[in-house]
Structure 1
Amino acid sequence: MFRLVLSLLLLVLVTAGVRAQAPQQCITMQMDSLLRAKHPEMGTLADFERSLQRKMVELKKQMANGRTGLATVITIPVVVHVVHNGESVGSGRNISQAQVQAQLATLNEDYRRRAGTRGFNDNPIGADIEIEFCPAVVNPQGQAMAEPGIDRYNGNQANWNQNNIEGVLKPSTYWNPDKYYNIWVVDLNDAVAGGGQLLGYAQFPSQSNLAGIPTDSPASTDGVVIDYRSFGNAEKGNFPTMRATYNLGRTLTHETGHWLGLRHIWGDASCGDDFCADTPPQASASSGCPVGRVSCGSTNLVQNYMDYSNDACMNIFTLNQKDRIRAVMALSPRRLSLLSSNVCGTLVASRPVSNFRADNQQVLLGGQIKFNDLSDGFPTSWSWTFEGGTPATSTEQNPTVTYTQPGKFKVTLVTSNAIGQSDPVVRTEYIEVLNAGLCSDMTNFNGTPTILREVNGTGYVAGQNSHRSQAVSEFFANKLGYSNLAGASLKFGVAKAAKGATTESVVTVTVWNGRGFQNGPGAILTQKDVPLRVILDDVANNRPTNVTFDRNVPLSSLPFHIGITLPYASGDTVALVTTKNGESLSATSWRQNQKGDWLRYADSLGLNVAHNIAAVVGQKSFVQIAASAIFIDPGQTVTLNARGASIFTWSGAGLNTTLGPQVIAQPTQTTSYTVAGSGLDLCSTTAVVTINVRAGTVTASTPLAEQSLQVTPNPSDGQMMVLFNGPLRGALTLGVRTLNGVELIRQNHQKTADLFQQPLDLKTAPAGVYFVEVRLGEQVYRSRVVKQ
């Protein structure tokens, strides 16, 4: 979450999401996306949003009954890490204690709506957030601090960029974020590539103690970063390093709002949603102080701290923003634990009081859980006992435990310091280890089957349309950490073949990892062509289309996407079934626009739906088949490879053998082949593939079809054989390209017989999907291959 003042050079540039001649002060969502890409185990921002909305409803009910579980006024302890380059105290980057005190005073004025200050307003929707910030008086070792709330650190460098801050500075200087609100004050002059000056950014709160939502955002980066020239308040002292326009302390107020769960007031989209009903929608960020600005049919609240207005313009949080912040304080475990940290008061020596939290309380067999110590009293030693876990005991402060047997298990913690030993904290049946779900299906679809027409256009939202969407996908958070993806079930609501089209049209089902922008589709993990004729038959009979991938797709316990690519050349049309709009609140549906950018339906179309897609997942392996071709001529050979087991038995017409992982089939008509696997503990023991045989025969005068090119084995470890059979002769070029069209290999050969054979080595290439390409005369033939 950045507030950014762009240089004059950047002001004349128009970039994605930035208006020309308007400074971009905060790229909050981009920074959050980078963090989630680096730590996909965090889950999605949509997960947090959904949980937060539920908590807000719950708190309102409790308030109606006089019970909230939170004090009327919440106090949050603060430590300000003043990062300098050897300057004396009060000089340059090593800002004075008075400047820190002025900033904290401003923060309290804004969050308490104090009369007589710039933070006061008489707007009826203006809110006293009832949060105060106190400087910590003891450090993590329990020692009294010379300057309350200030930790001075010589970073031995003048300027800091984001990578150095996140990767070096924060991890080496942070104080336990369960006990301190960490604020880093640094020189960000060179933090923006290409010029410009960064004012600050923050890390959103996490919600990892919720059932089914794994782990925290990283503790070592939790807090906010502020440029030293925008930290303080020029009206409260002589602070010559502060820059004009942003010198009244509102950068920290804004970034603290993000740290407490607030979104930008315009919802990071034109007329977007910040999930607060009393902040009117607006088209974009404000600059300066454009009081009375109208956009999205309403007068914008440009004085709000979560806009981009000048410091002197800002003076309001709203009642709904307060509801949201208070829900975060009750919901997010790391924020809630701050209320009992007791580092702002007088230090009293005492024996510890043990407390802890697990990053997840439900795990699949063989899964790991990290435990976080939250004990009070500054313990110096820890004694853990993990029923059913490995290790069974630990003396680490924050151990990681593996569970290899099913059941519900107890966890015990005893801590001690020089004063004495704590009473044991014992939580029975605290960890649940699941065995039944080792092989499962997962889906986000739970609603009314619906076929969505394209908004402001023709065609279908989840299919081909006049806006030429390139692909659609469904996001799977994989909260239980499944390791293998074997297949998928997709319910199509529309399937039409182009007039005069061949019977060999296919729909490509694709799996992406979830490491793209804001957990959108990232790299392709695998693809599988499904004959359109199969989908036509499934739609006619109102049944889903079941797809088995060529191999067990490794998920590494991380999120992923399943969807389809949408070609436009053939004129075929397909569309997936979704829920009705509003029946899904998880923002799991995505589509790729004509430019190649991935956007959530919720953000780009305002639609809250889920695709009717189910993923076949497991912790154990599945038997699967890969075929070198799915369309062949009568009598043509096709190679079938089985994976997932150690012993394989085949059935079907025209096989050269019925045993082993690889067989050769030579069907004369469309035939299904079944392989049964054994020898391992499997999620599924059989797999089926259908080879479609064309009518008629191939003659010497008939140009070769694309299916005359075979690559075997496929998938493979990279060592494969290219087989190109047909009557054509002459100079032949053999190449390999990535999915993005980058050529990796180019070889020149002569084809002097019907059968051309050439070994191909892709062992040094990364695992993924590639195209093997043969050029002969004016003809180009391609085959998709998978490198494992």
Structure 2
Amino acid sequence: MFRLLLSLTLLVLLTSQLQAQTPQQCATMQMDSVLRARHPELGTLADFERALQKKMVDLKKQMANGRTGLATVITIPVVVHVVHNGEAVGSGRNISQAQVQAQLVTLNEDYRRKAGTRGFNDNPLGADIEIEFCSAVVNPQGQAMAEPGIDRYNGNQANWNQNNIEGVLKPSTYWNPDKYYNIWVVDLNDVVSGGGQLLGYAQFPSQSNLAGIPTDSPASTDGVVIDYRSFGNAEKGNFPTMRATYNLGRTLSHETGHWLGLRHIWGDANCGDDFCADTPPQASASSGCPLGRVSCGSTNMVQNYMDYSNDACMNIFTLNQKDRIRAVMALSPRRLSLLSSNVCGTQVATRPVSNFRADNQQVLLGGQIKFTDLSDGFPTSWSWTFEGGTPATSTAQNPTVTYNQPGIFSVTLVTTNAIGQSTPLVRTKYIEVLNQGLCNEITNFNGTPSVLREVNGTGYVAGQNSHRSQAVSEFFANKLAYTNLAGASIKFGVAKAAKGATSESVVTVTVWNGRGFQGGPGAILGEKDVPLRVILADVAANRPTTVTFDKNVPVSGLAYHVGVAFPYASGDTVAVVTTKNGESLDATSWRRNSQGNWLRYADSLGLNVAHNIVARVGQKPSVQVAASSIFINPGETVTLDARGASVFTWVGNGLNTTLGPQVIAQPTQTASYTVVGSGLDLCSTTAVVTVNVRAGTVTASTPLAEQALQVTPNPSDGQMMVLFSGPQRGALTLGVRSITGVELMKQSHQKTSDTFQQTLDIKYAPTGVYFVEIRLGEDVFRKRVVKQ
């Protein structure tokens, strides 16, 4: 998290709007988003949160039985990388040993709630975290350090920004984070919008042994970065480089809180949730020391270390924050391994003791597992044996192994140093490789089918409603790291066509990645328009609606969402079946509100449900098929394209051929075509596509004519070209509406020839789905577009 010196608010003119740019004091949430974007294998912060909440419940049960597995007081070894530019020790950036020691003393005062120090409080909610920080006395090679806890490094540059720190400095200087808490003290030159110098930031704990998901955040960046002018304690010595207001060492207390899993006290949202029940909600970060500040219906705890108050104001961690930290220490692999590190005591030369962990102990056939060495005794060589793995042996410290045969296998590690060789560590039945499940159907739905109505409205929770929800989705953690999504089944409980509505209404089934805010839907990975008439028939028959995507949707072994986008302009109504409230506790259901923001049902509606959505996934491809148009006039040409196999055979009337990936049909009535694929090992060998044929012949007044209105590119960044073809002439209105029917823009033109062409620019509109609309006389033509 970044803590910033406060500065004057700047007003910046942007896209013809005045927007106030207020400085932030901490941006670990932003930094965490950047880290997860660079390393999508980390999963989401919401995944970590779910595991952490469950672990806290387990720990409370263990405490009630008098056993937690953790010592009463935990000791964490620290190394401070003092990054300088050639200055003498004790001068400028090359801060003195006394300044480092003053900072670590302050850190212990705050985390131990020591009486007689600024870290003490008599608030009944206040907690002694029972964590102490010690200076490492040996380096990673087992050698005694000249200055305990200090690694001085000449970076050969005056100051650093985040990109250089993350990409160059940290990977060049970090010590094994399974053994050391890494702290980098540098000259930070980053500023945020609105001004203000960054004071520091932290990396959250890794995702903590969640089954099926690689969990380690990058070892080379794990730790905390602090600006050298805010590292130390001006009350404990003469440290002239320290800046006022943030000179009492609380920047490190704050960032260490993030490193141990704490969130900002205001939950990074107006009256947000920091997942600690005893920290009162507040509207935003505090500045200065506004004792007695009231927001969100309560008096704010501005003295909390996880707020943005001045150093002199801070003096409390709460009991629930302690519970959260202790759960992290028991749950997060890298944090837990620090408890067995012996680098703070007198190092006795001895043979190594082998130890390791795997990022996952269950994998699908062909999957990979990363092994991490955790051995004591400073080994210098490693000898691994992987039963059933490729390679079968390795001398790397942290190897990655592929498993291409099913079964349950053992792993052996022997480590060596100058004193001798360890006793072999053999973990039998340690890795399970699954042969079944390479093709699978995944759902979170396990409860009573329900169609939930709004409490204070006339609509449906998982459909069109008075909140004007734009879409709903179901989150899939993808714990077994499937790579392909071929299709989905969605059980609709309600389907109604608007009075007088066109028979060509569609509902869009969408797949998003799970990289949005707090694990919500992010970028669109795939879409499929489903005719409303199909959903009407499925609801009448009490069966799910089955969707096969036009082409494979690459979920890449990561979390994803499957859901439905709702149009409002037509007046049609659909609603997805969910469980009853309280039957699903994993917060997998999401909705997109009328402003385009994604929210969990559990957070925004207080509902714990799962949608009745099934995802068809696999490690192997499936046959998939697409039609150039799903609505045509009698006898019009439609092109059918198949993907996923090497040999294709078609079944259907009126095809120009029955072989090959592409065929042409000219149906005179609604018809279905089946394609069978072969030549490859497939999850699904068959796909069916239906082409809907309109009654009668096409006329100039036919609305929504597929070939009349074209918008390219689609999806786009908001800059598009509109092409409208047809014999009509006259005054033409070109507009753009949101999916909720709100008009974004409107232009008037004259159509004087068969072809009308016009550019559109909505690049400043939020990401989402829109309708480009042309009105000419009594005719209305619409085209659905996606703005990325």
What is the TM-score with the length of structure 1 in the denominator?
0.88
Tell whether the 8 Å contact from 1:33 to 1:519 is kept in structure 2 after alignment.
no
Give the distance between the partners of 1:343 and 1:216, measured in 2 at CA.
22
Aligned to 1:707: 706
Tell whether the 8 Å contact from 1:208 to 1:359 is kept in structure 2 after alignment.
no
Aligned to 2:343: 343
Q: Which deviates further from its counterpart, 166-175 or 606-615?
A: 606-615
Q: Aligned letter for 1:31?
A: M
Give the distance between the partners of 1:338 and 1:260, measured in 2 at CA.
12
Tell whether the 8 Å contact from 1:498 to 1:572 is kept in structure 2 after alignment.
yes
Aligned to 1:475: 475
1:132-147 correspondence to structure 2 within 5 Å: 132-147=132-147
1:192-591 correspondence to structure 2 within 5 Å: 192-193=192-193, 195-453=195-453, 459-591=459-591
Superposed CA offset, 1:704-756 (max 9, x none): 85234699xx99xxxxxxxx99984999xxxxx9x999xxxxxxxx989xxxx
Superposed CA offset, 1:298-333 (max 9, x none): 332222212222211211112222121111111111
Aligned to 2:692: 692
Aligned to 2:749: none
1:549-698 correspondence to structure 2 within 5 Å: 549-698=549-698
Aligned to 2:170: 170
Give the distance between the partners of 2:227 and 2:78, measured in 1 at CA.
17
Q: Secondary structure at the match of 1:330?
A: helix
Q: Secondary structure at the match of 2:535?
A: helix
Q: Secondary structure at the match of 2:525?
A: strand
Superposed CA offset, 1:8-34 (max 9, x none): 13489999xxx9797532223222222
Q: Secondary structure at the match of 1:326?
A: helix
Query: Are the structure 2 counterparts of residues 695 and 703 from structure 1 closer, same or farther at C-alpha, using a change threshold of 3 Å?
Result: closer
Q: Secondary structure at the match of 1:472?
A: strand
Aligned to 1:747: none
Give the distance between the partners of 1:285 and 1:107, measured in 2 at CA.
22
Query: Are the structure 2 counterparts of residues 114 and 399 from structure 1 closer, same or farther at C-alpha, using a change threshold of 3 Å?
Result: same
Gaps of 5+ in 1: 716-723, 732-736, 742-749, 753-768
Q: Aligned letter for 2:706?
A: Q
Give the distance between the partners of 2:596 and 2:55, measured in 1 at CA.
36
Query: Are the structure 2 counterparts of residues 27 and 190 from structure 1 closer, same or farther at C-alpha, using a change threshold of 3 Å?
Result: closer
Give the distance between the partners of 2:785 and 2:54, measured in 1 at CA.
46
Residue 115 (structure 1) shift:
0.8
Q: Aligned letter for 1:141?
A: Q
Q: Secondary structure at the match of 2:116?
A: coil
Residue 482 (structure 1) shift:
0.8
Q: Aligned letter for 2:38?
A: K
Q: Aligned letter for 2:542?
A: N
Work out whether 1:29 is the aligned partner of 2:21.
no
Query: Are the structure 2 counterparts of residues 784 and 594 from structure 1 closer, same or farther at C-alpha, using a change threshold of 3 Å?
Result: closer
Tell whether the 8 Å contact from 2:23 to 2:193 is kept in structure 1 after alignment.
no
Aligned to 2:103: 103
Residue 679 (structure 1) shift:
1.8
Query: Are the structure 2 counterparts of residues 708 and 429 from structure 1 closer, same or farther at C-alpha, using a change threshold of 3 Å?
Result: same
Q: Aligned letter for 2:379?
A: P
Give the distance between the partners of 2:118 and 2:446, measured in 1 at CA.
49
Q: Aligned letter for 1:390?
A: T
Tell whether the 8 Å contact from 1:40 to 1:514 is kept in structure 2 after alignment.
no
Tell whether the 8 Å contact from 2:43 to 2:207 is kept in structure 1 after alignment.
no
Q: Secondary structure at the match of 2:640?
A: strand
Query: Are the structure 2 counterparts of residues 694 and 366 from structure 1 closer, same or farther at C-alpha, using a change threshold of 3 Å?
Result: same
Residue 516 (structure 1) shift:
3.1
Tell whether the 8 Å contact from 2:126 to 2:316 is kept in structure 1 after alignment.
yes
Work out whether 1:76 is the aligned partner of 2:76.
yes
Q: Secondary structure at the match of 2:4?
A: strand
Q: Which deviates further from its counterpart, 510-519 or 42-51?
A: 510-519
Tell whether the 8 Å contact from 2:234 to 2:248 is kept in structure 1 after alignment.
yes
Query: Are the structure 2 counterparts of residues 156 and 469 from structure 1 closer, same or farther at C-alpha, using a change threshold of 3 Å?
Result: farther
Q: Secondary structure at the match of 2:53?
A: helix
Aligned to 1:760: none
Residue 622 (structure 1) shift:
0.7
Aligned to 1:189: 189
Aligned to 1:39: 39
What is the TM-score with the length of structure 2 in the denominator?
0.88
Q: Aligned letter for 2:474?
A: E
Aligned to 1:158: 158
**Identity within the alignment, %:** 84
Give the distance between the partners of 2:64 and 2:271, measured in 1 at CA.
32
Q: Aligned letter for 2:499?
A: K
Q: Which deviates further from its counterpart, 381-390 or 261-270?
A: 261-270
Gaps of 5+ in 2: 715-722, 731-735, 745-752, 756-767
Q: Aligned letter for 2:148?
A: P
Q: Aligned letter for 1:652?
A: G
Tell whether the 8 Å contact from 2:634 to 2:667 is kept in structure 1 after alignment.
yes
Q: Secondary structure at the match of 1:8?
A: coil
Give the distance between the partners of 2:166 and 2:583, measured in 1 at CA.
38
CA RMSD of aligned residues (A): 3.6
Give the distance between the partners of 1:660 and 1:23, measured in 2 at CA.
60
Q: Secondary structure at the match of 1:183?
A: strand
Residue 608 (structure 1) shift:
3.9
Residue 559 (structure 1) shift:
2.2
Tell whether the 8 Å contact from 1:730 to 1:776 is kept in structure 2 after alignment.
no
Query: Are the structure 2 counterparts of residues 705 and 339 from structure 1 closer, same or farther at C-alpha, using a change threshold of 3 Å?
Result: closer
Q: Secondary structure at the match of 1:198?
A: coil
Residue 106 (structure 1) shift:
0.6
Residue 191 (structure 1) shift:
4.0
Give the distance between the partners of 1:460 and 1:197, measured in 2 at CA.
48
Tell whether the 8 Å contact from 1:590 to 1:600 is kept in structure 2 after alignment.
yes
Residue 479 (structure 1) shift:
1.8
